[in-house]
Every structure is written in structure tokens, then in C-alpha cells.
Structure 1
Amino acid sequence: MNKQLEKHKIIVKTGAIVDASIIDTPLKPKGKTTYEIEVDRSEQERTPEEQENEQQAHVLIKKQHPGVDSEARWIKKAGKTRYGYKKHHVTDTEGLVLGVLTTPANVNEIANLEEVLATADLPENIHVYGDKGYRSAKNEALLKSKNLKSRILHKAKKGQALTEREKLRNRLIGKTRFKVERTFGGKNRWFNSTCARYRGILKMHTQNVMEAIAYNLYRSPGIVASKLIKTAQ
């Protein structure tokens, strides 16, 4: 489908935006949460004891809660504990979806940028936009190795505030990066895409891909009309 949209110049790969959104599943453990994972903590940052507790918790889920989707995972975001999956998107600079990756909710964006980029056939020397959750020396090196230009937001370090130059750069990046938020917002309004309709990661990935196709088709007429108006002017 995207190849056809690209052929007709509806999708134009002059830049790419990466981001992720949580999908909640109703098939979660009942009662007290057994184990929670803080957002923005990768597997490497969790202690061996925490990782062992996580594994034990999900063994208990399988044994004690047969109705639970055992492939989903816990995450804590904005003080709220959620159970489900995470959809990672690569979009163009208009917000049309180029690639989709589905993971358990506890997979951190900073750790899987390479997998996300692999879902989209990106040309070299374009800008890749992302929020500060993707900011790391490893990811900067990854983009450089792929001949992609980093437009990932700067984030303040402990005891070190952002410089005025970094703040300005973040504001300029934000003028393009926000379009992926519009994509997630539109999919949620039109398809209730933050709710998991199926059990298991493979079926959930199919849901995410079908919603991405539907979103691109829904948006395409508006993009075509906008280009015709600009041409007429």
C-alpha cells in the first residue's frame, strides 16, 4: 500500500519521525499488581534482582490467571500502572506511517531504535526526529552509521541544565516532531487504537499494521487536496 502512495508522491521521504504509544489490554491480571516496571528504564538499567522478580511474576501470571494475556507486560507511565503492548512507529514528516514494530509495553524506546528503523525503507541523508527518550550516544552513533541525520531532542543531564542553544534546537525539532503525536491521536479517535482487541503479540501486530494502513488511506485525500491547492496558488 505504501509503495502505491509513494509512487503517487503522497508519501515523500524527506524526513522520518519515530515514536511509541502504549496499547492497554483488558486481559490483565486481577487484583494487586505483582510487579511493575518504571518507564524509561531499559533492561540493562534494571538490577539482576529486578529482572528475576519480573520473570517470576509472569510465571505466576501464567499459573494463577489463565485468562490473562501472558505476552503483554506491565509499565508505569505518568504515575499510572498499565498492562499491554507498545506500538513503535516510523512516519514521514506529514505523519503517514512508514513502519510499525510491536513489542511488550516494558520495551524501552532507547534500547530498540535500530529495530524500529528496520521496519521502514529510509533513504540516506534524511533527518530522523525523535523525543528525548531516544537520546543516547549509542543511538547517535547508530544514525550516523546509517547515514541518517539526528534530530533527536536533547535532554538535561543530572545537575546540568540544557543550554540556550539546545533549548532552541529542541523547539525547532518540535515543530516537525509533533506530527507523530497527531498520528497517534488520529488513530485513537478513529479506531480506538489504544485498546488491544486480540491476545498475543502476533495478533496485536496485525491490528497495528491494519490501523496504520487505514490511517494512511484516511489521510491521503487531504494531502492530495492540499498539494493541489498549493499548486493552484
Structure 2
Amino acid sequence: MVDAQDGYVRGVHTAPANQSEMMHFEAAIDGAHIEANRVYADKGSASNANRQFLRKQKIKSAIMHRAYKNKPLSSRQKLANQLISKKRYIVEQCFGTIKRLFRMGRASYFSTTKVNAQVILKSICMNLKKAANKIFVDQPLRGAIRPNITYGGKFT
């Protein structure tokens, strides 16, 4: 679970790779222990059961619509997907950064427990990186001495 406003990781739910994320949608929402007004999700979570679950929880659904065989998306569904994707890019940036900077393109372990621990640690690193960037961007350090690094990796 990633906060759509700031992009901080708020919760982690890890499931085996051979199971659909659609099956774990309710567990991910319940396990996050976060009161949300709206849940943004990709097409992998698009199902009537997931939308009904959000309605029961009194949470607005922002799950992207999915086209099925012989049933293309209506113009209203396409517009809804565009509006949802404008918010979801913040979440996707977080996942992309974790994959790129923290080498999470592939799990380093085999068991779900170990992979869950790895994802939690990488998520903590991601949140610390976002917090540090926010501090330094909002309030730049004055008088801080930053070493100049040459191409050889030596300080000058």
C-alpha cells in the first residue's frame, strides 16, 4: 500500500507468485490497517468482488477498468481509467524506484516469509529516501560542505 498523496509505503502484503493478486486484494486492504477514502488499483485487481468489498468497507473504488474478450471498454470507462492513472503514477513511481535503486526487480529469497521481510526492509529504505529528499528539497542546508568527487572516486 502506497500513499497516493506523498508516495510513502504504508503497508506491505506479500503473496506467492503463482497466485493472482485478485485473490489477495481483501487481505492487503485489511492488513494495511489504514483508514482510506479511496483505493487506487491497477487492472489486475479489477473484479466485481473487489469493488463490492470496497463498498462494504465504505471506501470509494478507483480500480481501473479492464476490457474483456468481445467486450471493449466504454468511453466512460476509458475516461475513468485516465483519471485514475493520473493519481496512480505516484504509486508506480515508488515501485519503479524500489526496483531500480534497491534492486527489487526480482526477489533474493524463495520463501514468502523471507521475501516479505526483504520487501519490508526495502520499503523502509524507500520511505527514508523520500523523507530525506523532502527535507533537503524543502529546506536546503546552508553552509554545508560537500566534497567534490573526481572521476577516479577520490576526494579533492
Matched, 1:122 2:41: no
What's the CA shift string for 1:116-144, capped at 9, x where partnerless? Answer: 112312215x1100111111110011001
Cα distance change of structure 1 residues 199 and 135 upon mapping to structure 2, 3 Å threshold: closer
Which of 180, 196, 216 is matched with 2:107 structurally? 196
Amino acid across the alignment from 1:106: N
In 2: Cα distance, 1:196 partner to 1:101 partner: 14
Answer yes or no: is 1:145 the counterpart of 2:56.
yes
Aligned counterpart for 2:120 among listed residues 209, 215, 222? 209
Q: Deviations over 1:48-91 (max 9, x none)?
A: xxxxxxxxxxxxxxxxxxxxxxxxxxxxxxxxxxxxxxxxxx11
Q: In structure 1, what is the equivalent of residue 133 of structure 2?
A: 222
Of all paired residues, the percent bearing the same amino acid is 35
The total of aligned residue pairs comes to: 139
Q: Is the 8 A contact 2:15 2:24 kept in 1?
A: no
Question: AA paired with 1:195?
Answer: R
What 5-or-longer segments of structure 2 have no aligned partner? 141-156
Give the partner amino acid of 2:17: A
Moved over 3 A (4+): 223-229
Q: Counterpart in 2 of 1:55?
A: none
Q: Choose between structure 1 and 2: higher strand proportion.
A: 1
Provide the C-alpha distance between the structure 2 equivalents of 1:91 and 1:120, rounded to a whole number of angstroms: 10
Q: For 2:73, which of 141, 153, 162 is the aligned residue?
A: 162
Q: Secondary structure at the match of 1:119?
A: helix
TM-score (norm 1): 0.55
2:54 alignment partner, SS class: helix
Q: Give 3-state SS (helix, strand or coil) of 1:128's partner.
A: strand
Work out the CA distance in 1 between the residues paired with 2:138 and 2:27: 33
**Residue 227 of structure 1: CA displacement?**
6.1
Q: Quick check: which one's helix share is greater?
A: 2
- The correspondence for 1:136, drawn from 47, 51, 70, is 47
- C-alpha separation in 1, matches of 2:9 and 2:100: 16
TM-score between both structures, scaled by the size of structure 2: 0.80
Q: Contact (CA 8 Å) 2:99, 2:105: kept in 1 or not? A: yes
Q: CA deviation digits over 1:27-67, x for unaligned, max 9?
A: xxxxxxxxxxxxxxxxxxxxxxxxxxxxxxxxxxxxxxxxx
Alpha-carbon distance in structure 1 between the residues aligned to 2:45 and 2:34: 18
